[in-house]
Amino acid sequence: MNNSIVAVRAKMLGIAILAVFIDQVSKWLVMESMFLGESVSVMGSFFKLTYIHNPGAVFGLTFGGKYLHLILAGAALVVVGFMLLRLPANEKIANLALALVFGGAIGNVIDRVRFGWVVDFLDFGFGNVRWWVFNVADACVTVGAGLLILSYSGGDSKDGEPGNPGGSA
């Protein structure tokens, strides 16, 4: 493995670790300073901190119980980790995207292992019309997935390479 690949892998590991750190510290602060179910307005009704426990998957979906969620999250971590190791170093946006997904997934797996549920607290909406309450790890996964889609949907690349996976017509 050449030095540039090692440097990129080290940077991506650092980004994933930073995502886990920010996620876990923010959850700890919420758990230490709020009571379960408490909602604190930050920007009127648009942005609130609302402390909840989410035993389900993304957006509170439940299927198969907490152990199935943990198994699926573990499998996803393995797949994303493998993708991150196999991705060429010059695919900077895709590497960043996978590092964010990896770090976010680890943050939520830590919660599932420790508590059996995930701490959520970021609450956006207007009045009674609210988005699902989420956390920093969820935001990292979502931003990473969006970046990954963007990295594979555009750009000047050759047939069969990221950015043009279907080749020419």
Active site residues: 120, 138
Residue 162 has pLDDT above 90, yes or no: no
Residue 108 has pLDDT above 80, yes or no: yes
Residue 132 has pLDDT above 90, yes or no: yes
Sheet hosting strand 129-130, strand order edge to edge: 39-43, 47-54, 118-126, 129-130
Q: Which residue has the higher pLDDT, 46 or 163?
A: 46
C-alpha R_g of the chain: 18
Looking at residue 158, what is its pLDDT?
47
Secondary structure of residue 14 in the 3-state scheme: helix
Residue 18 has pLDDT above 70, yes or no: yes
State the Cα angle at 51 between 49 and 56, rounded to 5°. 120
In the numeric block, which tokens belong to residue 146? 């969006």
Q: In whole angstroms, what is the distance from residue 130 CA to residue 136 CA? A: 17
Looking at residue 63, what is its pLDDT?
65
Secondary structure of residue 155 in the 3-state scheme: coil
